[in-house]
Chains A and B, each alone.
Chain A
């Protein structure tokens, strides 16, 4: 059994902490869904892709919206098409099976090889949504009354579920998951992450940027803290704009890339003009 463990070690384009690797491998070995929480931009969604890449398995993504119903993940019965067909007689309407369309979860079940199934942003849906999937995720099967068929997973998919903590998830659901909270990366790890995306970035520029970035994140009363993706966009903008690294700490060019809310921009400008306790605190030390 031991060789089942430690299969996932991150991938070339995704840096996973040892903790995270552990959680992923525990979830895989136990065949339980892995619930991932964390600040936006900590790479929750990317994780599933990375697992799929690293293990060489196909990835199926089920994006959850506020209107998504659990049923849609299993299958949809296209009544209307069948009614139309019954009028025009194009197809044999007595064969209900052709009007059953499998959802993402259904697809993952019938796949001929094991897949990675990402249920993205599960907290967007209705409060009861996770409860409606308990049986299916536990048993890895569901029943289609219309065709009197039971769909059973050929290979138990590796299920990764992400949540932004917009809603609290029901206990019964949580009990069945392996849980991992992705911490916001510290400056050291952030450096590694940035280097994956920009291998030949000027060191000076990177250090100045990280210092400014973590300083901005430390500001109180920020409505939306900039995240990794915003930092990456910002670096891109700075490289293209050819900004002198020394200027970054003083004026923070391309501010709009980092902060998306007017109020936050004002907060930042105010703090730039009135540095509390003299100089900006340096969160990034070499």
Chain B
């Protein structure tokens, strides 16, 4: 390696160190290992032999889930400033490599973000709406969610225009909601693995199942062989299997919309947990009454009688109810209190909840509202009433772990 080459690689390393942090800033979980792999690949000339290959090389080595492809693209575009198609990338990269150290003209997250006045913001918004033709989340320029651009929502620009979404920072000076930005919040990846790992603890091993005896029981074999005067006698056991059956009852009412991502995570994790002996899901609207629904849409035509569900399932099903437990007191305590105007309930919701509680040995309620708010949120009254029936935990990893202990009968 001669002197020139050495400096070349120095520059490459500096460049990629910055790109590495750019990716992480955009929410792509890149690790140092992967970064070394990328350098190794570059040294082997894996990007060099095909110029467009550079982009694909980076992506193949650094990005490990298709859900991060979009974030990666944005980080890439933002770092290589304005380049949108892979075709136009390589020239720019090589030109850039020819320069001395790259100057840094991107806005750092250091509190120096400009304060704009409202007229200026409106004008810039109009300009960017005209220029932008795809979704953006994060980053500091384009309209989208997160990031430090003054436009979009859930971001952190100290003086920006909120476009739809929830107000999280009080500094958004004006709401200019447009429908086309509304659906973007679901671009976040569901990291359901943590939930899944927690759910694994929800098991109770038993060998009392039908099925072939396929596992050699060493101790029993030695014992039996000994009794058999040393002539080999094999003893087989059935493999241990999880006996836990789970019934999940989920609130899909309007107020739950705000927690849909969290609930989705839980649902996905439970659905993928193949270790349950059985897993059943039903949905309800705010509170449980005479009918349950197999789909979150809660359509009347495919409803099922709650009493049928209760009688069809054994009492050893572990029941997990998920809901914000927040509703009008009448919905919980009065006959006819059901929120759907065309339905009528003879018995108050609380009686149905009690029935569920009594039918099954173990049941818990998971509430997506953080526990510290339970006494102060608008649903505080009904939360209190429901907590008298079910042990309630917040829907967090920690809460889920506690709930699982409760379902296993360890803690009440």
Residues of A within 8 A of B (CB): 1-2, 4-6, 18-19, 22-23, 25-27, 29-30, 32, 35, 37, 66, 79-80, 83-84, 86-87, 127, 166-168, 170-171, 174-181
Contacts and interface: CB of A to CB of B under 8 A. Distances in A.
Interface string B24-37: 00000101011001
Nearest to A168: B193
A84 B196 CA distance: 42
Given A178-B61, A180-B60, A168 B191 contact: yes
Given A175-B31, A179-B63, A179-B65, 14 more contacts: A5-B50, A22-B60, A23-B56, A35-B64, A80-B216, A127-B193, A127-B200, A168-B193, A171-B29, A171-B31, A171-B64, A175-B33, A178-B60, A179-B64
A26 B33 contact: no
A181 B66 contact: yes
B41 interface: yes
Contact of B50 (A4, A6, A30, A87): A6
A175 B45 contact: no
B175 interface: no
11 contacts: A5-B44, A5-B45, A22-B50, A22-B57, A26-B56, A26-B60, A29-B41, A84-B232, A167-B193, A168-B272, A171-B29
Nearest to B69: A181
A32 B48 CA distance: 19
Top 9 closest pairs, chain A to chain B, by CB:
A181-B66, A174-B64, A168-B193, A22-B56, A23-B60, A179-B64, A2-B45, A87-B232, A1-B44
B192 interface: yes
A102 B37 CA distance: 31
Nearest to B221: A83
B412 interface: no
Interface string B271-282: 010100000000
B232 A83 contact: yes
Nearest to A2: B45
A171 B63 CA distance: 11
B196 to A, nearest CB: 6
Interface of B: 29, 31, 33-34, 37, 40-41, 44-46, 48-50, 52-53, 56-57, 60-61, 63-66, 69, 191-193, 196-197, 200, 216, 231-232, 234, 272, 274
Given A32-B37, A66-B274, A178-B61, A25 B196 contact: no
Nearest to A17: B56
Contact of B196 (A18, A19, A167): A167
Contacts of B44: 1-2, 4-5, 29-30
A19 B33 contact: no
A43 to B, nearest CB: 16
B252 to A, nearest CB: 15
B46 A26 contact: yes
Nearest to A167: B272
A80 B234 CA distance: 8
A262 B124 CA distance: 52
Nearest to A166: B272
Most chain B beta-carbon neighbours within 10 Å: one of A19, A86, A177, A179 = A179
Contacts of A174: 64-65
A175 B49 CA distance: 25
Contacts of A18: 52, 56
A182 to B, nearest CB: 9
B52 to A, nearest CB: 8
A32 B38 CA distance: 12
Contacts of B274: 66
A48 to B, nearest CB: 17
A29 B46 contact: yes
A157 to B, nearest CB: 18
A181 B53 CA distance: 16
A1 B272 CA distance: 43
A32 B37 CA distance: 10
B231 A87 contact: yes
Contacts of B57: 22, 26
A4 B57 CA distance: 15
A64 to B, nearest CB: 13
A66 B48 CA distance: 42
Contacts of B40: 30
